[in-house]
Amino acid sequence: MSNFNRRRFLKASAAGGIACAMGHVPDTVFAEFAGNDTFSDYKALVCLFLFGGNDSWNMVVPSSTAEYNAYQTSRQSLAIPQSSLLPIAPLNPDGAQYGFHPNMPELQQLFQAQHCAVIANIGPLLEPIATKDQYANRSVALPPQLFSHNDQQDQWHSLKGNMQSRTGWAGRIADQLVSSTAAQQLALNVSLAGQTLFQAGAQAVPYTMGAAGPVAFSGLTGTDALSMARRAAFTTIVNAEYGTVYERGYADVQKRALLYSDRVNTALAAGPTLATVFPTSNLATQLRTVARLISVRDRLQMSRQIFFVSTGGFDTHDNQVDDQPGLLGGISAAVNAFYNATVELGVSQSVTTFTQSDFGRTLTSNGDGSDHAWGGIQLVVGDAVIGRKFYGAYPQLSIGSARDVGGGRFIPIVSSDQYAATLARWVGVPDANLNTIAPSLGAFPGARDLGFMM
Amino acid sequence: MSQTSDAWIDAQLTVPASVQLPSVQAAYALLAQPVTNIGQLHNDRVAAWFQNSVRGPDQLRQRVAFALSEIMVVSQVSLNGYPYAVADYYDLLARDAFGNFRTLMQDVTLHPAMGVYLSMLGNRKPNVTLNIRPDENYARELMQLFTVGLVQLNLDGSVKLDAQQQPLPTYDQNTVEGFAHVYTGWRWAGAASFNASRASLINQVQPMQAYVEEHDTGSKVVLSYSGAALSTIPAGQTPAKDLSDALDNIFNHPNVAPFIAKQLIQRLVTSNPSPQYIERVATKFNNDGNGVRGNLGAVVKAILLDTEARATTTVSTAGKVKEPLLRLTQIWRAYNANSSSNVLNLANLGAIFGQGPLQAGSVFNFFSPGYAPPGEISTQNLVAPELQIATEYLNTQTTNYFLTMSLCYVPTPVTGVGCPAVRADTVVLDTAAELALNGDSAALVDKIADRLLAGKISDTLRAQARALVDRAPLTSPSLRVAEALYLIASSPEFAHQQ
């Protein structure tokens, strides 16, 4: 049904145009057709990847005296002053009190207004780890190459565990939804920040644009005879047969660029002007473009989208005290502007932004920074989020405590597989298929969904 | 070529390095407000890179230095205030390109550009009271990215597996911490003490200096492997002796040969070398024939003269995607490009090509050696690292640059297409030979194919280019040349290095 628009077909039939012709079709068939093969609503996930490994123990910090003192003793010069923390009041208190980093007032307010959830002590796991003895004895399976940037990025992107993987979990969602999103005029996965394993599917191919949107091929869009001839020649060349995988791979990119850039730019040019003011940062530019793309979702016939945006600099081995405020402040301001834009567009219930990062960092200092660790904190933002709550469990931030495997490296209590599955279910993957998205999910029976999405 | 390839390589191995630092230092004198504008010297650094890469007599050395700069990565992104150090770091790579790998390891480790980039510079010994432990950044990446990699390798680059068919790790966190303790006590040279040590224009280009008061003197765990001289560095040694023992320990690990052989093959010849090719080169790394381990000149020669590098029949995995920046240098070289100020440079390389010399976004380079785009490359378990930056966006940017170049950066820019004004630093191609063939579209296209495709142009590209040339009026030779140059420069076949 490659050229057949199921969504429009169903709308047309629901309106009565061909309903009588369908009268003899068994209800079950019709229900399956309607239920699995198309979406009547719109949903989008926005992955914000914090490259380098965000030191998130400084992003949401214990503020009650006993817990703060443990934190301060561990972190020493890396600790955020207690009095500067921005207080929050979770609806599911764990006995301690917490605050956001002082440069994150926007996210503090989004949390308090129930638009933001905190997932505490999350990271790659292959199965639950109850004690650090299990880690020390290797009596549980562990993700390979813990503490290595690219390997742990790949874990978050692909959830591959001990396996090789050439696909990411967003790519696999796109593969799953390929028939129900067949009418979409743009790839389900769009990146504003380069190509990642996260969005690579077995069949579904992501589309990468610049932070400010797609760029058109100059010299190929004119309507004069020479421009049209040039475009025809260029098109013939990229569609020719080539003898090597490299030429074919390169030509495939050019073909997608030709196909999508004009289509998206045309849609964007006809879209509404956003009133929401975004800060001036590359991340904010990316998120503004995402908001603009969402604003033209109907023109592009999009019902499901996954966007990838990113910002870097979080590998704070050095100068952490100087660099971290700007990094965290940048996230807070940009994510808040994006949330406001989704409100402006009336899609705040339909768009969920979530963070990922290589790993958490050591509580201990190396003198003026922190090193690679494991569990950390992620944030989820949007009006489909059951916000103002903590999920997972915030650990005791003292050296040698129950889940510290050394130097303040924490064994996660919840896994990135559970996180991905929770988001995948929300975006439309049936429960039966979630293990394809999150391959280690079977090791977490009874907790396949972390419960932070409505 | 009058010489044989063998003789050409031998001659190139002896040509001394063309360097960048002197021109960066010369530019400093012309800098207004040098303290605040020091980062502008990176423009001069990049101009020196273009000068050496396009025109240097040490072409092979420069090419290998560029490959090394994508393995042992430092970046202007974090070193904007240290243009001398970054230029000198590249010069180090050029000087050491055909030397011994152990020397390269030593020089890279102690260079302040690397010291700042991966925070070994300023790394202190532990302080138990303050929960301070040594910085693990350089300890981890020297092993993971520059020398041995994460998993144990056979000589042919294949991964060693345990009984459960899982890769055997090369080291663990304890090893990282051991090396982190080794790399304590080093800071900018020339000071009376660690705490008094500060950066200057002089010590930016000198090896870091050890300050014993911040060096950890305990014993240190290092790599353990069959044949290792030691697996623990004893307590009480000097910083220099600790470093020497530690780098020897890494250098002699059996992974280094296949790990470096494969990456250099990938950078220079093909993305998907056969295991046999890797093994032949790794064998040369382990022994150059004269009993020397780590002879990079011999390794480079083995890579370039291998039967797999020089096969005359093309298989679908032969070669690689040519890096976009190297497409530009190839065009500039082929067309004797120059500006009226005699400087070769181009602004915003990252935005146009997704890369620039020592300008990667992280120590993981512009692209990963294991990158595979979705589709046949991925499903056949192949890789195409350079395609990671061939996004729809960046490919379009590069393609658009080639259009502007073809129309505008030529002896007589095409009129009526909005060409920017030619400035003193605008790099212009010498297309006189093509312009002389204005009336003969077939000869014109073949002339460009000779220069950019070694004469091997596909029938489709030739026919399309010819037809497009013939649609442009004979009265506009610049436009006719531009149409053909654009289609060829932006073609999949020009993006492929055989």
Instruction: Categorize the per-residue pLDDT at A37 as very low, low, confident or very high, splitting at 50, 70 and 90.
Output: confident
Tokens 């890789």, residue located? B383
Mutate one of A245, A286, A364, A401 to test the B interface: name it (highest B CB count within 10 A).
A245
Picking from A148, A166, A312, the nearest residue to B150 by CB comes out as A148
Q: Do residue A245 and residue B119 have CB atoms under 8 angstroms apart?
A: no
What is the model's pLDDT at position A164? 83
Return left, alpha or beta for A52; rule: phi > 0 is left, psi -120 to 50 is alpha, else beta: left
Q: What are phi and psi of B190, to 5 degrees?
A: 95, 5
Residues A358 and A156: beta-carbon distance below 8 Å: yes
ipTM of the complex: 0.97
Kindly tell me the number of DSSP H helices and DSSP E strands found in chain A.
Answer: 13, 12
Q: What is the DSSP letter of A147?
A: T
What is the model's pLDDT at position A163? 87
Task: Tell whether B420 is within 8 A of chain A (Cβ).
Answer: no
- Return all residues near B475 (Cβ < 8 A) that are at least 6 apart: none
Task: Tell whether B441 is within 8 A of chain A (Cβ).
Answer: no
- Indicate whether A269 pLDDT > 70: yes
- Indicate whether A256 pLDDT > 90: yes
Q: What are phi and psi of B497, to 5 degrees?
A: -100, 120
Query: Chain A residue with minimal CA distance to B116?
Result: A318
Best CA proximity match to A171, nearest among B387, B374, B380, B383: B374
Residues A373 and A410: beta-carbon distance below 8 Å: yes
Picking from B132, B395, B493, the nearest residue to A253 by CB comes out as B395
Number of CB atoms found within 10 A of residue B39's CB? 13
Return left, alpha or beta for A268; rule: phi > 0 is left, psi -120 to 50 is alpha, else beta: alpha
Query: Chain B residue with minimal CA distance to A202?
Result: B374
pLDDT digits (tens, 9 = 90+) for B156-213: 999 999 999 999 999 999 999 999 999 999 999 999 999 999 999 999 999 999 999 9
What rounded mean pLDDT belongs to chain B?
Answer: 97
Q: How far is A289 from chain B (nearest CA, A)?
A: 14
What is the model's pLDDT at position A23? 33
Tokens 């050296």, residue located? A399
What is the model's pLDDT at position A2? 33
Return left, alpha or beta for B83; rule: phi > 0 is left, psi -120 to 50 is alpha, else beta: alpha
Mean pLDDT score, A277-282? 98
Mutate one of B391, B402, B453 to test the A interface: name it (highest A CB count within 10 A).
B391
Q: Do residue B387 and residue A240 have CB atoms under 8 angstroms apart?
A: no
Instruction: Categorize the per-residue pLDDT at A224 as very low, low, confident or very high, splitting at 50, 70 and 90.
Output: very high
Q: For residues B260 and A30, give the distance between their C-alpha atoms in angstroms, rounded to a whole number.
A: 59
Exposure string of B179-188, with b = 16+ CB inside 10 Å and e = fewer, is: bbbbbbbbbb
**Structure tokens that stand for B36 in this block:** 């605040």
What is the model's pLDDT at position A36? 53
Q: How far is B316 from chain A (nearest CA, A)?
A: 4
- Indicate whether A316 pLDDT > 90: yes
Residues B164 and A163: beta-carbon distance below 8 Å: no
Best CA proximity match to B40, nearest among B365, B347, B339: B347
Task: Tell whether A249 is within 8 A of chain B (Cβ).
Answer: yes
Task: Tell whether B373 is within 8 A of chain A (Cβ).
Answer: yes
Q: Do residue B460 and residue A317 have CB atoms under 8 angstroms apart?
A: no
Task: Tell whether B137 is within 8 A of chain A (Cβ).
Answer: yes
pLDDT digits (tens, 9 = 90+) for B124-156: 999 998 889 999 999 999 999 999 999 999 999
Picking from A208, A245, A247, the nearest residue to B493 by CB comes out as A247
Among A residues 80-119, those touching chain B with beta carbons less than 8 Å apart: none
**Structure tokens that stand for A325 in this block:** 């405020």
Q: Do residue A244 and residue B132 have CB atoms under 8 angstroms apart?
A: no
- Indicate whether A35 pLDDT > 80: no
Q: For residues A336 and A278, give the distance between their C-alpha atoms in angstroms, rounded to a whole number.
A: 9
Q: What are phi and psi of A208, to 5 degrees?
A: -110, 130
Mutate one of A55, A228, A244, A246 to test the B interface: name it (highest B CB count within 10 A).
A246
Q: What is the DSSP letter of A142?
A: -
Picking from B376, B396, B495, the nearest residue to A217 by CB comes out as B396
Q: For residues B294 and B284, give the distance between their C-alpha atoms in angstroms, rounded to a whole number.
A: 8
* SS3 assignment for chain B: CCCCHHHHHHHHHHCCCCCCHHHHHHHHCCCCCHHHHHHHHHHHHHHHHHHHHHHCCCHHHHHHHHHHHCCCCCCCCCCCCCHHHHHHHHHHHHHHCCCEHHHHHHHHHHCHHHHHHCCCCCCCCCECCCCECCCCHHHHHHHHHHHCCCECECCCCCECECCCCCECECCCHHHHHHHHHHCCCEECCCCCCCCCCCCCCCHHHCCCEECHHHCCCCCEECCCCCCCCCCEECCCCCHHHHHHHHHHHHHCCCCHHHHHHHHHHHHHCCCCCCHHHHHHHHHHHHCCCCCCCCEHHHHHHHHHHCCCCCCCCCCCCCCEECCHHHHHHHHHHHCCCECCCCCCCCCCHHHHHCCCCCCCCCCCCCCCCCCCCCCHHHHCCCCCHHHHHCCHHHHHHHHHHHHHHHHHCCCCCCCCCCCCCCCCCCCECCCHHHHCCCCCHHHHHHHHHHHHCCCCCCHHHHHHHHHHHHHCCCCCHHHHHHHHHHHHHCCCCCCEEC
Q: Do residue B135 and residue A371 have CB atoms under 8 angstroms apart?
A: yes
Mean pLDDT score, A298-310? 98
Chain A residues with beta carbon closer than 8 angstroms to that of B401 = none
pLDDT digits (tens, 9 = 90+) for B439-451: 999 999 999 999 9
Task: Tell whether B375 is within 8 A of chain A (Cβ).
Answer: yes
Mean pLDDT score, A21-49? 62
Q: For residues A240 and A200, give the distance between their C-alpha atoms in angstroms, rounded to a whole number.
A: 25
Instruction: Categorize the per-residue pLDDT at A7 as very low, low, confident or very high, splitting at 50, 70 and 90.
Output: very low
Q: For residues B434 and A160, give the distance between their C-alpha atoms in angstroms, rounded to a whole number.
A: 53
pLDDT digits (tens, 9 = 90+) for A371-421: 999 999 999 999 999 999 999 999 999 999 999 999 999 999 999 999 999
- Indicate whether A26 pLDDT > 80: no
- Return all residues near A43 (Cβ < 8 A) that are at least 6 apart: A303, A304, A305, A350, A351, A352, A384, A426, A427, A428
Residues B104 and B296: beta-carbon distance below 8 Å: yes
Please report the number of interchain residue pairs, chain A to chain B, with beta-carbon separation below 8 angstroms. Answer: 227
Q: How far is A351 from chain B (nearest CA, A)?
A: 25
Among A residues 373-432, those touching chain B with beta carbons less than 8 Å apart: 399, 406-408
Task: Tell whether B472 is within 8 A of chain A (Cβ).
Answer: yes
Mean pLDDT score, B452-474? 97
Share of chain B above pLDDT 70, in %: 100
Q: For residues A190 and A212, give the distance between their C-alpha atoms in angstroms, rounded to a whole number.
A: 13
Instruction: Categorize the per-residue pLDDT at B423 as very low, low, confident or very high, splitting at 50, 70 and 90.
Output: very high
Task: Tell whether B411 is within 8 A of chain A (Cβ).
Answer: no
What is the model's pLDDT at position A14? 37
pLDDT digits (tens, 9 = 90+) for B303-348: 999 999 998 777 999 999 999 999 999 999 999 999 999 999 999 9
Mean pLDDT score, B390-403? 98
Task: Tell whether B340 is within 8 A of chain A (Cβ).
Answer: no
Number of CB atoms found within 10 A of residue B360's CB? 21
Mean pLDDT score, B72-82? 97
Picking from B320, B361, B464, the nearest residue to A312 by CB comes out as B361
Chain B residues with beta carbon closer than 8 angstroms to that of A397 = none
Radius of gyration (Cα) for chain A, nearest Å? 23
Strands A60-62 and A98-100: antiparallel
- Indicate whether A13 pLDDT > 50: no
Among B residues 68-107, those touching chain A with beta carbons less than 8 Å apart: none
What is the model's pLDDT at position B214? 98
Q: For residues B429 and B346, give the distance between their C-alpha atoms in angstroms, rounded to a whole number.
A: 13
Q: What is the dihedral of CA B50, B51, B55, B59, to 10 degrees?
A: -60
